[in-house]
């Protein structure tokens, strides 16, 4: 399903990260970077809650909006019951829609925000996502201090929170259209190869977007995927060409961009719901404001992995939601 | 002809360096064995105890050091490098138990450490007990013949 939006803009964005992200190539673009993973909190779960609260506080300050004028918050994170988001939102007296689409949450949040605004139901919406490396490792993988060897295709969950103020006010970046993806089973049950699980979903969503809206891939100056990593990126390129005869040329993956892959021990690259928006809201938006890129297609990808279902020997379903972002002409 | 997604994905998945990993594990595991032997000989010499008792002291020493190094935060890097060279000996068991205990210590003594400490290493205990039962059965049957 593809929705074309008439009057929706991302007015302002805010990004807060942990130490690894600030040492990556985009460190200087982030609004706030912490030096450890606790941020002064007692545990990682509460640290993630703080990440969200910090990002929202910065956004409200930067966007110069009153909390009273925010109609609804839309957001989520990776942990069970999206607990950090719920706890972070308990500090506000605003309506809140909690969502879950694993690492594709950022674009789903943008599409939902834009739909509410374009439908006339809301004027200002804040959408946020977050992820925390050690909190996610604890829930999905092994204890953090456990040093069992990891495979080359493993991705590194990014620590950070990114939020965006979406409104009908003509300012910032235009949210032109959005495609809601389908859940795809790519036949992969390898939890250390999420890139393979998600690349098919990304390919299908990008193709669906182009088909629904009647565009060529060249229409976009840049196509971005969420967190496929080095190997997933190559799989997607090959898959798009083989399946849909689309050559991805001006294409990159935010998972590959967020860290310095040569120096940082992050294996195949970054992952997590915060990965795609951290890169997009900071570096990409900065370049868009300089008009280096005019039209960007962002397809965040999410592996809807459940450790229980993996133990049942089932495959990892994945999803990808895409948004088209444009510089205001 | 179109390639299936599985074929495309397989083409782009990197191969792990199995041979190099095996050599590293072989050498580091061997070094571990040498250290353990030195410890046994040392305990026999210094403490004037039997080899059997010295072996227990050696195991306790290795377990203590693995737990200490895990808590100090650098043992995971050693394990990551040495792989099975440190995972197969008692050091791996101690490391897995300690890392889980550290991870859940904030969720309380009983609900955190108590219930989750053996998350990774519980399987080693269960199957260790089961396999020792099976082997002792075999030994008993062979002894009766």
- Euclidean distance between CA atoms A152 and A229, whole angstroms: 10
B1 has pLDDT over 80: no
Helix boundaries (H) for A189-228: 194-213
Whether B72 and chain A come into contact, CB under 8 Å, resolves to no
Average pLDDT for consecutive 10-residue bins of chain A (329 residues)? 96 96 95 95 96 97 95 96 97 96 96 97 96 95 90 95 96 96 94 94 97 95 95 95 94 96 93 96 95 96 95 96 94
Domain limits, CATH 3.40.47.40, in chain A: 7-167, 173-327
User: Cβ of A152 and B100 within 8 Å?
Assistant: no
Say if the ipTM goes beyond 0.95: no
For A88-137, write each residue's pLDDT tens digit.
Answer: 999 999 999 999 999 999 999 999 999 999 999 999 999 999 999 999 99
Tokens matching residue A139: 């829930």
- Euclidean distance between CA atoms B41 and B54, whole angstroms: 8
A141: nearest CA partner in chain B = B120
User: Cβ of B13 and A238 within 8 Å?
Assistant: no
Per the CATH hierarchy, to which homologous superfamily does domain A7-167 belong?
Stage V sporulation protein AD (3.40.47.40)
CA-based Rg of chain A, rounded to a whole angstrom? 18
Tokens matching residue A159: 């620590």
B95: nearest CA partner in chain A = A146
- Top-level class of domain A173-327: alpha beta
User: Cβ of B75 and A145 within 8 Å?
Assistant: yes
3-state secondary structure of A298: strand
Contact (Cβ atoms closer than 8 angstroms) between residue A158 and residue A261: no
Least CB-CB distance to B16: which of A138, A151, A242? A151
For A190-225, write each residue's pLDDT tens digit.
Answer: 999 999 999 999 999 999 999 999 999 999 999 999
């Amino acid at each position: 399903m593809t929705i074309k939006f008439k009057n929706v803009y991302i007015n302002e964005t805010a990004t807060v990260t942990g130490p690894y992200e600030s040492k990556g190539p985009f460190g200087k673009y982030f609004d706030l970077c912490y030096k450890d993973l606790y941020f002064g909190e007692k545990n990682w779960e509460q640290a993630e809650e703080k990440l969200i609260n910090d990002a929202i506080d910065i956004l409200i300050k930067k966007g110069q909006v009153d909390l009273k004028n925010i109609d609804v918050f839309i957001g989520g994170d990776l942990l069970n019951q999206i607990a950090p988001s719920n706890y972070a939102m308990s500090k506000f007296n605003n309506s809140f829609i909690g969502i879950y689409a694993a690492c594709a949450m950022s674009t789903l949040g943008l599409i939902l925000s834009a739909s509410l605004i374009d439908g006339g139901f809301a004027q200002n919406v804040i959408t946020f996502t977050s992820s925390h490396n050690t909190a996610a490792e604890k829930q999905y993988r092994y204890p953090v201090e456990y040093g069992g060897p990891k495979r080359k295709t493993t991705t590194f969950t990014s620590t950070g929170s990114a939020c965006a103020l979406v409104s009908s006010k003509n300012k910032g970046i235009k949210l032109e259209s959005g495609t809601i993806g389908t859940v795809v089973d790519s036949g992969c049950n390898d939890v250390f190869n999420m890139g393979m699980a998600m690349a098919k979903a990304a390919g299908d969503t990008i193709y669906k977007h182009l088909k629904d809206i009647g565009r060529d891939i060249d229409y976009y100056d840049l196509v971005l995927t969420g967190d496929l990593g080095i190997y997933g990126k190559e799989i997607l390129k090959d898959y798009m060409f083989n399946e849909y005869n689309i050559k991805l040329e001006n294409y990159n993956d935010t998972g590959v961009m967020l860290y310095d892959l040569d120096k940082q021990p992050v294996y195949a690259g970054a992952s997590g719901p915060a990965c795609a928006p951290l890169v997009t809201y900071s570096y990409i938006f900065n370049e868009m404001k300089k008009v280096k890129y005019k039209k960007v297609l962002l397809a965040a990808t999410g592996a809807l992995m459940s450790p229980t279902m993996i133990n049942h020997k089932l495959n990892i379903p994945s999803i990808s939601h895409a948004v088209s972002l444009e510089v205001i002409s | 002809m179109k390639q299936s997604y599985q074929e495309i994905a397989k083409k782009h998945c990197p191969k792990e360096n199995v041979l190099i990993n095996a050599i590293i594990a072989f050498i580091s595991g061997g070094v571990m064995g040498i250290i353990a032997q030195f410890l046994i000989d040392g305990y026999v010499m210094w403490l004037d105890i039997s080899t059997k008792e010295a072996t227990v002291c050696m195991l306790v020493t290795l377990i203590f050091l693995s737990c200490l190094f895990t808590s100090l935060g650098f043992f995971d890097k050693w394990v990551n490098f040495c792989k099975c060279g440190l995972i197969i000996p008692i050091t791996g068991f101690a490391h897995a138990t300690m890392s889980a205990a550290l991870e859940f210590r904030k969720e309380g003594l009983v609900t955190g450490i108590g219930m989750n400490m053996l998350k990774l290493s519980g399987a080693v205990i269960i199957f260790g007990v089961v396999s020792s039962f099976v082997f002792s059965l075999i030994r008993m049957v062979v002894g009766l013949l």
